[in-house]
Amino acid sequence: MTARANTITIDQFAAVDIRIGTIVAAEIFPEARKPALKLVIDFGPEIGRKSSSAQITQHYKPADLIGRQVCAVVNFPPRQIGPFMSEVLTLGFNDENGHIVLINAGKPVPNGARLH
């Protein structure tokens, strides 16, 4: 079978480190070019707390996010977004209007648990 440009191997997928963590702080990110929130996510003792810029303002208010578990890629290099350093990529899907809906586990799991 020939690999297509949009296919990856299981080893490539395994290299993406997706973990779950709990949002411990969230605030409006006024300097962002597109509306966004600054998040601090606790990924447990192995990874610790990491920051993330997330364009999720259509569905989420900062106060409503505290205590919510989210999934994020934790092994991308940090990315400078204006004056803010985003250390992880918080994951979500586009809804029918193109607004991000966060993904999470169906039940609470320990912070830092890896997606398999």
User: What pLDDT sits at residue 85?
Assistant: 97
pLDDT, the chain, mean: 95
The yes-or-no verdict on residue 72 having pLDDT over 90 is yes
| In a domain? residue 41 | yes
Give the span between the Cα atoms of 60 and 36, in whole angstroms: 10
Encode 56-66: b = buried (16+ Cβ within 10 Å), e = exposed. bbeebebeebe
| In a domain? residue 55 | yes
| In a domain? residue 81 | yes
Query: For the residues 58-74, what does the mean pLDDT come to?
Result: 98
| In a domain? residue 42 | yes
Q: DSSP label at 113? A: P
Task: For residue 92, give its domain range.
Answer: 15-102
For 11-44, the pLDDT digits (tens) are: 999 999 999 999 999 999 999 999 999 999 999 9
Query: For the residues 40-53, what does the mean pLDDT come to?
Result: 98
| In a domain? residue 20 | yes
Beta carbons of 50 and 89 less than 8 angstroms apart: no
Q: What is the CATH number of the domain that holds 65?
A: 2.40.50.140
| In a domain? residue 82 | yes
Domains contained in the chain, number? 1
| In a domain? residue 10 | no
Show the CA angle centred on residue 41, arms to residues 35 and 44, nearest 5°: 170
